[in-house]
Amino acid sequence: MTERAYVRAAALMNFGEVCRQFGLDPLRLVRQAGLDAGVLSDPDLRIPASRVAAALEGAAAGSGCLTIGLRMAESRRLSDFGAVSLLMRHQPTLRALLETTVQYRRLLNEALVLHIEDDDQLVILREELAIDGGGLLRQAHELAIGTLFRMFRMILGGAWSPIGVHFTHAAPPDLTVHRRLFGREVIFAGDFNGIVSAAADMDRPNPAADPELARYARQFVEILPKAAHRSTAQDVRSALYLLLPNGKASIVEVAAVLGLGPRKLQRRLDAEGIVYSILLAEVRRELAERYLGNTGYSLARIGEMLGYGQPSSFTRWFAGEFGMTPSRRRAQIEALTKLTR
């Protein structure tokens, strides 16, 4: 198994406040998720992203509220991003801001996967979470996308609005919080998590940008621990989380996304003692568990998203990996979800 992804404890900023609104004990919830109580007071602690996701889902289950993550995102401030926030604030355009976020995401959240796609007059920001395990991630996705949305609004002002905000999970019974934060263009049960914006908005100038301050901030950020260090294995995993569901999982395609030639990518993986096929198998297993928890996906659709053209091929692979059929595993996940709700 490759190294797990970590995130700053700032990801749990306002967790206690939101929990107490619903009569929950935030200390008990973080401890149940395997975290120390200190994560609620020291934003710079590095903690496993999977445990943050577990704490969020625990709060959702305990409160019966499906918008815990989104409620936390509503009160996010740019300063919550730590040292990199100054660099973000002074980017000249939204596109530059996105590219900076992608470049320095390790300082924010190692599990966060972002990919920018230009599609005619639109720009699509796809978001994924490279978190191991089969736990629920609804709250983590909504916290991540809600926080990104807040960041864009804080820099570009209230005049900017997305064309659409997309989630792969189903809509909650009450859309009040989603519409309060995003407006009315929220799409659920879709093919991806992310934000769609008009291409023209991506290059609209940021009136608060100061090139000299941006240069100073970049110099400072570059000397921070992990700013320059990049694990090739984690980069490949991140690329696979985005590419595999679209049927693009070859090392040639992954190398292209990372801006490398396939031979150079292979050499870097060899230097880290990592086998590409093992990385691919890990991500495929993790996504299989995740997709089975989303009842909006049929088993045939899940097989396609994992690279299997025939349902029988998917079933054989799944049985070999998990010791049971996909339908049986889905039933187990549904039963477990009901127990924790």
Identify whether residues 261 and 325 lie together within a single domain: yes
Identify whether residues 260 and 130 lie together within a single domain: no
Helices of type H across 75-158: 85-89, 94-103, 138-156
**Of 74, 60, 10, 63, whose CA–CA distance to 40 is shortest?**
10
**E strand or H helix at 119:** strand 112-119
Tell me: the pLDDT tens digits for 213-262?
888 888 888 877 665 456 788 888 888 888 888 778 889 988 887 878 89
Q: Give me the pLDDT at residue 230, please.
A: 60
**Of 107, 33, 76, whose CA–CA distance to 340 is shortest?**
33
**Domain housing 250:** 232-340
Whether residue 226 lies inside any domain: the answer is no
Whether the predicted pLDDT of 314 surpasses 60 = yes
Identify whether residues 215 and 313 lie together within a single domain: no
Whether residue 227 lies inside any domain: the answer is no
pTM of the model: 0.81
Mean pLDDT, rounded, for 85-106: 83
Question: What secondary structure letter does DSSP report for 260?
Answer: -
Do 175 and 165 touch, CB atoms closer than 8 A? no
Identify whether residues 73 and 133 lie together within a single domain: yes
3-class DSSP assignment, residue 47: strand
Mean pLDDT, rounded, for 314-340: 87
φ, ψ for residue 211 (rounded to 5)? -55, -35
Place of tokens 């900076």: 100
Provide the mean pLDDT of the chain. Answer: 87
Quick one: angle between helices 49-63 and 138-156, nearest 10? 100
**CA 46 to mean position of chain CA atoms:** 17
Residues in the chain: 341
Mean pLDDT, rounded, for 329-340: 78
Tell me: the pLDDT tens digits for 111-162?
888 888 888 889 888 898 888 766 689 999 999 999 989 888 887 777 778 8
Identify whether residues 238 and 307 lie together within a single domain: yes
Do 214 and 90 touch, CB atoms closer than 8 A? yes
Strand 164-166: give its sheet, edge to edge. 112-119, 122-129, 193-198, 164-166, 186-187
Identify whether residues 119 and 237 lie together within a single domain: no
